[in-house]
């Protein structure tokens, strides 16, 4: 592993845990097992290092969303596919959703520019498809954007609000992971039940 990779991985861990403002360059250096000066040698400054980490995180999320959203499957199958593969992905990167949401909140201008490029998660095709299936009486009438929010909420929320969920339900990390495994298949059926004719 190159030094640059060591730094990048360390930065990802620290930034995801503490956010941009809370993270310390010294902490990242310690985590990477190298000297603080190397961070500046490799990434110029904190801002640029953060951007590298954030863009990487963000760009991991988008493509697989679009792949599913724009496939030829039915709405129901897309819901199954999305929830299942997305939860699988987020179980491996549990801090990602909270990190992205937090930094979007603290730094809207920066992120919004991001959401205008061609790689952004783009639900246009899926929205049209939902409207069509409603017209074809496959799905009960619903505002497609609301349905989209529902799908993402059911999938992403428990990870974004991990501490809150664990605290409220008083469950351990192990129990939490088990519940998320269960959600991989269960929530698709919940959502489909709620809209099917």
Partner DNA sequence: GTCTATAGCCAGATAGAC
Partner DNA sequence: GTCTATCTGGCTATAGAC
Q: Which is nearer to DNA, 47 or 173 (CB)?
A: 47
Considering only residues 35 to 94 of the shown chain, the ones binding a copy of itself according to CB under 8 A are none
Of DNA, a copy of itself, none, which one does residue 98 interact with (CB within 5 to 8 Å by kind)? a copy of itself
Cβ neighbours for 182, distance < 8 A, ≥ 6 positions apart: none
Cβ distance 11 to 25 under 8 Å? no
Question: Whole-number minimum distance, CB 1 to DNA, in Å?
Answer: 10
Which positions lie near DNA, rule CB under 7 A?
3, 23-26, 34-38, 40-41, 44-47
For residue 23, the SS3 value is: coil
Cα gap 158→173, rounded to integer Å: 13
Of a copy of itself, DNA, none, which one does residue 193 interact with (CB within 5 to 8 Å by kind)? a copy of itself
Considering only residues 102 to 141 of the shown chain, the ones binding a copy of itself according to CB under 8 A are 102, 104-106, 108, 111-112, 115, 120-121, 123
Cβ distance 90 to 96 under 8 Å? yes
CA diameter of the chain: 63
Q: Determine, following the binding rule CB under 8 A, whether residue 25 of this chain makes contact with a copy of itself.
A: no
């Amino acid at each position: 592993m190159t030094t640059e990779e060591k730094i990048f991985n360390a930065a990802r861990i620290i930034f995801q845990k503490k956010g941009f403002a809370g993270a310390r360059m010294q902490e990242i250096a310690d985590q990477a097992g190298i000297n603080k000066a190397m961070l500046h040698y490799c990434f110029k400054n904190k801002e640029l290092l953060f951007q590298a980490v954030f863009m990487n995180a963000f760009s991991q999320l988008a493509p697989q969303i679009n792949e599913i959203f724009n496939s030829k499957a039915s709405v129901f199958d897309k819901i199954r596919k999305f929830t299942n593969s997305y939860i699988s992905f987020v179980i491996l990167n549990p801090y990602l959703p909270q990190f992205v949401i937090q930094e979007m909140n603290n730094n809207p201008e920066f992120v919004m520019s991001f959401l205008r490029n061609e790689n952004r998660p783009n639900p246009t095709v899926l929205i049209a498809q939902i409207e069509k299936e409603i017209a074809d009486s496959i799905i009960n009438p619903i505002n497609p954007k609301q349905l989209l929010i529902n799908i993402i909420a059911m999938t992403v929320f428990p990870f974004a609000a991990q501490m809150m969920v664990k605290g409220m339900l008083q469950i351990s990390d192990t129990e939490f992971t088990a519940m998320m495994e269960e959600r991989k298949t269960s929530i698709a059926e919940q959502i489909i039940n709620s809209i099917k004719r």
